[in-house]
Amino acid sequence: MKNIIYNIGYFFKEAKTIIKINLLTNIFSILSIGLIFFILIMVLSSWWISGHVVETIQSEAEINVFFGESVEDDGILQMVESIKKINGVRDAQLVDEDEAYNRMSAILGKEAKVLKYLDDNPFSPFIEVKIQLEEMEKVLGGLKSVPDIEQIRDNRDVLERLRGIIRVFEALGWLIMATVSVTTVITISHIIKSGIYNNREQINTLRLLGAPEAFIAFPFLIEGLILTMAGAMAASVLAVLALKAFYSQMAGPLPFIPLPSREALENSFFALSVLTSLVLGVIGSIFGLLSAKVE
């Protein structure tokens, strides 16, 4: 180990020389690895974002309860108190016409000007019921016993569709992770074998001089790490630009969607890319060294 640390400068110099010998091939390898890692980051980002959205919606899950126009104010207050007593209900409050109008204006943003062309407020008052999502069926059953309720609007269909999207991204993420791993290992292994073949005379000379196999192999291991890390860094830069563009687009027309922090997302996948590239670089290099034969 001390011998390797002492000669680390020599190993990096040799790795640089090996890369230069097949410079064009190595550049294309870096681009290929970068593209593969970029696809992986994008799929995992979509997986994380969709999961965050669903979790946020679940934590804020609510049901909107509508009642008849003939119900008096006292009856509405009694209805709210009755709903609060149902198991699975976290809170219930009345949203009047003005509050409903203001909420829709906030959602529409710049497009809210269309509401000004309406002579009357088109929105009806309703009771906003915050619930524990896993208790939705019990809550819906309890609401049936509350008089004067005309309509109940829930978001079960939306949540189920979002869960389906997450399952798709999860399966796709694992599939692409496996594809990235196999492809990167094969690519690096092939590059290492090619480098060993092109430097077979120098390798044989080092063997005649008594150099141990680990001493000879270490520059090729460094080469594999450099190529995979360069590809991962390129993918990270592209991913940062793509995420910035995505977040800027979402901030305009859909500001109400609860997206996770972009900075946290970038940092997490940068760390993931570096760690994955290190592991795959080592595995690919070792596989290439073991499968190469120099006579």
Model pLDDT, residue 131:
82
Instruction: Find the range with the poorest average confidence among 32-36, 92-96, 241-245, 246-250.
Output: 246-250
Residue 252 has pLDDT above 60, yes or no: no
Q: pLDDT per residue over 98-142, tens digit each?
A: 777 776 677 666 665 666 666 666 677 888 888 877 777 888 888
Model pLDDT, residue 177:
79
Out of 100, 127, 154, pick the residue that ends a domain: 154
Q: What is the CATH number of the domain that holds 90?
A: 3.30.70.3040
Q: pLDDT per residue over 47-60, tens digit each?
A: 777 777 767 766 66
Would you say how long the chain is, in residues? 295
H or E, element range at 92:
strand 89-95
Model pLDDT, residue 159:
63
- The pair of structure tokens assigned to 194 is 């090619």
| Residue, of 69 and 257, whose pLDDT is higher | 69
Q: Alpha-carbon distance 282 to 11, whole Å?
A: 15
Q: pLDDT per residue over 145-190, tens digit each?
A: 888 888 888 767 776 676 677 677 778 778 877 887 888 888 888 8
174 and 271 part of one domain: yes
Model pLDDT, residue 256:
54
Model pLDDT, residue 130:
86
Report in angstroms the alpha-carbon separations of 34 from 105, 209, 228, 240, 279.
Answer: 44, 39, 8, 13, 15
45 and 128 part of one domain: no
Amino acid at the residue 38? F
6 and 143 part of one domain: no
Q: Alpha-carbon distance 232 to 276, whole Å?
A: 8
What's the DSSP call for residue 64?
A: E
Residue 294 has pLDDT above 60, yes or no: no
180 and 267 part of one domain: yes
118 and 213 part of one domain: no
Q: Can you say whether residue 93 is alpha, beta or left, with left for phi > 0 and alpha for psi between -120 and 50 degrees?
A: beta
Instruction: Find the range with the poorest average confidence among 50-59, 69-78, 164-173, 271-280.
Output: 50-59
Residue 212 has pLDDT above 70, yes or no: yes
Out of 102, 123, 154, pick the residue that ends a domain: 154
Q: Alpha-carbon distance 195 to 21, whole Å?
A: 8
For 245-252, what is the mean pLDDT? 73
**Average pLDDT of the chain to the nearest whole number:** 78
Q: Which domain holds residue 51?
A: 2-57+159-291
Out of 104, 128, 154, pick the residue that ends a domain: 154
121 and 92 part of one domain: yes
